[in-house]
Amino acid sequence: MPLSCWLRSLGVFLLPAPCWAPRERWLGFLQRPSLAYGCPVLGAWHSARWWCQVWTEEPRAFSSSVRMNGNQKLDAYNQEKQNFIQHFSQIVKVLTEKELGHPEIGDAIARLKEVLEYNALGGKYNRGLTVVQAFQELVEPKKQDAESLQRALTVGWCVELLQAFFLVSDDIMDSSLTRRGQICWYQKPGIGLDAINDALLLEASIYRLLKFYCREQPYYLNLLE
């Protein structure tokens, strides 16, 4: 096939806009019968003309469409993030509510609640949200019931708690001053090296949550491992 014919059918319209001749010239050129009959790529005229119109005659409409789709995706992501954050209250409830007023361990449970709320919140939640998004993409829609979604949200928060455990420990080792825009947990008055124990509380919370939500599931052992 001659190079000129191939370029007409597949790609002059891919050049940057400043390199183009006036729109009328190109649209007339693309309407030549030789394009349809002299080239085996049928339908190229339609696609080329459409792209010419998009990039010359209707660039604003095209840009608006792209922005609209981008905004829709952003709104969906923000809604997922909001749902994920709201589930944290359920996490704290499961871990603390039953024993919060216990005469012997009530103080320890109150400390756990404070540790959770200070160290697990305030990040970008990318790790936890990835778990939820993987669930939505990989699990069949008919199996995505409310109970399964609750488990996915919980496993996502387990990942966030694991990250919090690492960060509290890392801040102590590095003598860091701030974390996520606030003073590091161990730097707070009255905390100090007790934060090492608090970090272990965060880690232990992961296993309690997995047992509470996923004990009857066939993948429970895989999660623990």
Radius of gyration of the chain (CA): 29
The tens digit of pLDDT for each residue in 50-94 reads: 545 544 455 555 455 556 577 888 888 889 999 999 999 999 999
Is the model more confident about 10 or about 202? Answer: 202
pLDDT for the residue numbered 100: 80
Residue 80 token pair: 């997922």
- Provide the pLDDT for residue 2: 54
pTM of the model: 0.69
- Computed over every residue of the chain, the mean pLDDT equals 80
Name the one residue in this structure whose structure tokens are 């012997």: 104
Distances from the Cα of 16 to the Cαs of 56, 63, 123, 126, 213, in angstroms?
11, 16, 41, 36, 55
Fold observed for domain 73-224: Farnesyl Diphosphate Synthase (1.10.600)
pLDDT per residue over 161-205, tens digit each? Answer: 999 999 999 999 999 999 999 999 999 999 999 999 999 999 999
Dmax of the chain from CA atoms? 91
Residue from 150, 124, 121 nearest 135 by CA = 150
Cα distance between residue 123 and residue 193, in whole Å: 23
What is the Cα–Cα distance from 26 to 119, expressed in whole angstroms?
A: 61
| Residue 104 in this model has a pLDDT that exceeds 80 | yes
**Stretch 21-36: mean pLDDT:** 47
pLDDT (mean) for 92-111:
89
User: Distance from first CA to last CA of the chain, Å, rounded?
Assistant: 59
pLDDT at 105: 85
CA distance linking residue 10 with residue 26, whole number of Å? 14
- Separation between Cα atoms, residue 205 and residue 201, nearest integer Å: 6
Q: Where in the chain is the domain with CATH 1.10.600.10?
A: 73-224
Q: What percent of the chain has pLDDT over 70?
A: 70
Q: Give CA–CA dist 165/33, Å, rounded.
A: 69
